[in-house]
């Protein structure tokens, strides 16, 4: 793991976007793994800016999102398909046919999960996976105790995740209790990953994820074993880290090494 700490959440998002842009410029047909959540909003805003101002070209890339709520249509404001459309897809020159999210409305959810894995494999696997982290250490919607070898499947959401995400719904009770998520094994297969975490609410879980023992009680600890993982934090989220193995704030990485 390569840990970089930036002075602010905005600077952290800029760095994540720059790393993605760099990878996209180097390989226009890249297969990107995408994530949702509040943290990613400024990453996508910066990517949109880079598209508009610096012609960052999305036309040949493919994307696979980590997860989707079961039972929400793509037109539902809380679906992750809607989120991706609002924050990224509709603003850039991406070919929508190349954008993939699990279908949370599929009649046969298990078949949908299998199909999603097949589609990722058909595209050659994920080159660069963007990751956020839940306050309980979930990646995608892999809740504590998810097996490290798990593949795309339906997951029942934990109470912690429901209380973390339900405020985003108009009526918190409307939040689905299940989601389709790429598994920890599916995520671990990506060639490179970037995890971004900002703010006070992530400080404790970042400490346990990066400096605690590897355990599936904290799914994100699997990243300690990943061959190429860049962790981007703001100073607040990094506030409880004790080891001195990270690049301090303000120190630019040129070029960004994963």
Residues tagged active-site: 67, 136, 138, 143
Q: Is 140 in the site for ligand GLP (CB under 6 A)?
A: yes
Q: Is 141 in the site for ligand GLP (CB under 6 A)?
A: yes
CB-wise, 66 or 210, nearer to ligand GLP? Answer: 66
- Residues numbered 160 to 199 that lie near ligand GLP (CB under 6 A) are 161, 165
Question: Minimum distance from CB of 254 to ligand GLP (Å)?
Answer: 27
Q: Is 132 in the site for ligand GLP (CB under 6 A)?
A: yes
Applying CB under 6 A, the span of 17-25, 52-60, 131-139, 225-233 interacting with ligand GLP comes to 131-139
Q: Is 143 in the site for ligand GLP (CB under 6 A)?
A: no
Binder among 1, 133, 203, 238 for ligand GLP (CB under 6 A): 133
Sign of the CA dihedral with 181 first, then 186, 190, and 193 last: positive
3-class secondary-structure state, position 145? coil
Q: Is 66 in the site for ligand GLP (CB under 6 A)?
A: yes
Radius of gyration for the alpha carbons in the chain, expressed in angstroms and rounded? 17
Q: ∠ CA 123-124-125 to the nearest 5 degrees?
A: 100
Question: Minimum distance from CB of 38 to ligand GLP (Å)?
Answer: 3
CB-wise, 30 or 142, nearer to ligand GLP? Answer: 142
Total residues at interface with ligand GLP (CB under 6 A): 14
CA 165 to CA 204: how far, in whole Å? 18
Closest CA to 181 of 215, 201, 158: 158
Applying CB under 6 A, the span of 12-20, 32-40, 186-194, 245-253 interacting with ligand GLP comes to 32-40
φ, ψ of residue 204 in degrees (nearest 5):
-65, -45
User: Residue 230: which region, alpha, beta or left (left: phi > 0; alpha: psi -120 to 50)?
Assistant: beta
Q: Is 150 in the site for ligand GLP (CB under 6 A)?
A: no
Binder among 19, 39, 56, 258 for ligand GLP (CB under 6 A): 39
Helix (H) or strand (E) run with residue 63 in it:
strand 62-65
**Looking up tokens 């990646």, which residue turns up?**
139
Helix (H) or strand (E) run with residue 31 in it:
strand 31-34
Binder among 35, 182, 193, 238 for ligand GLP (CB under 6 A): 35
Contact at 8 Å (CB) between 127 and 190?
Answer: yes
Contact at 8 Å (CB) between 127 and 30?
Answer: yes
Applying CB under 6 A, the span of 31-39, 71-79, 81-89, 212-220 interacting with ligand GLP comes to 31-39
DSSP state of 149: T
Q: Is 38 in the site for ligand GLP (CB under 6 A)?
A: yes
**Interface ranges with ligand GLP (CB under 6 A):** 35-39, 66-67, 132-134, 140-141, 161, 165
């Amino acid at each position: 793991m390569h840990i970089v700490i930036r002075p602010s959440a905005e600077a952290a998002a800029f760095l994540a976007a720059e790393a993605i842009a760099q990878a996209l410029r180097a390989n226009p047909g890249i297969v990107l793994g995408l994530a949702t959540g509040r943290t990613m909003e400024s990453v996508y805003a910066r990517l949109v800016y880079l598209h508009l101002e610096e012609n960052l070209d999305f036309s040949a890339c493919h994307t696979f999102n980590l997860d989707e709520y079961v039972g929400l249509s793509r037109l539902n404001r809380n679906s992750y398909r809607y989120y991706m459309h609002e924050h990224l897809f509709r603003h850039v020159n991406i070919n929508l046919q190349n954008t993939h999210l699990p279908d949370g409305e599929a009649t046969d959810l298990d078949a949908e999960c299998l199909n999603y894995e097949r589609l990722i494999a058909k595209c050659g696997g994920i080159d660069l996976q963007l990751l956020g982290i839940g306050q309980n250490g979930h990646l995608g919607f892999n809740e504590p105790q998810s097996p490290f070898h798990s593949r795309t499947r339906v997951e029942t959401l934990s109470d912690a995740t429901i209380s973390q995400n339900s405020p985003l719904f108009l009526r918190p009770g409307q939040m689905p209790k299940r989601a389709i998520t790429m598994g920890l094994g599916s995520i671990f297969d990506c060639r490179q990953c970037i995890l971004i975490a900002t703010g006070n609410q992530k400080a404790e879980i970042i400490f346990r994820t990066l400096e605690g023992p590897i355990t599936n009680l904290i799914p994100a600890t699997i990243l300690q074993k990943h061959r190429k993982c860049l962790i981007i934090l703001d100073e607040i989220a990094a506030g409880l880290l004790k080891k001195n193995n990270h690049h301090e704030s303000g120190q630019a990485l040129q070029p960004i090494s994963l």
